[in-house]
Structure 1
């Protein structure tokens, strides 16, 4: 587990380091859940999983295309394999 120091700015704004935003593909507008563990310990985690996000993205792309269920499942499988490779094989 890595640790990074960040500073709270005006109105409680904090900025996630660019390295983490790139690593986890966080984008402007992403929603997070802040969990208070007590004693000033906080955990920040994405409110939606990347798998759900990718599924929504594929659905939007396919919405206007003439694609059958088998083709869509193949595309989703390819996305899943790419996600696995990016996050578990070559993190």
Structure 2
């Protein structure tokens, strides 16, 4: 789908209703715009950064040798500690 849009005063433009409905874009949603050079831009929902953040976290955990089993074991230990700290009366 190719659609032309017009930039208005203050740099605003309207994303076509068909695209807003198709992708669930609502008023107030944030987007990122990347200048690709030569007058080309990449315009994408801000949620894309969640994937980038997830990739960075995964890379850091792998570099530190942390596995899913390590995380699950630590979670179990933390739940146990929390339970005893808040619910077990000694």
- Gap runs ≥5 in structure 2: 52-90
Determine which structure has more spread, i.e. the larger CA radius of gyration: 2
Counterpart residue number, 1:44: 43
Q: Distance in 2 between matches of 1:43 and 1:17?
A: 16
* SS in structure 2 at match of 1:7: coil
Structure 1 segments (4+ residues) deviating >2 Å: none
Q: Deviations over 1:37-89 (max 9, x none)?
A: 0000001000115x99xxxxxxxxxxxxxxxxxxxxxxxxxxxxxxxxxxxxx
Q: How many residue pairs are counted as aligned between the two chains?
A: 50
Counterpart residue number, 1:75: none
Counterpart residue number, 1:28: 27
TM-score relative to the length of structure 2: 0.52
When the two chains are superposed, the root-mean-square deviation of aligned CA atoms in Å is: 1.9
- Report which structure shows greater RCO (CA 8 Å, sep ≥6): 1
- Gap runs ≥5 in structure 1: 53-91
TM-score relative to the length of structure 1: 0.51
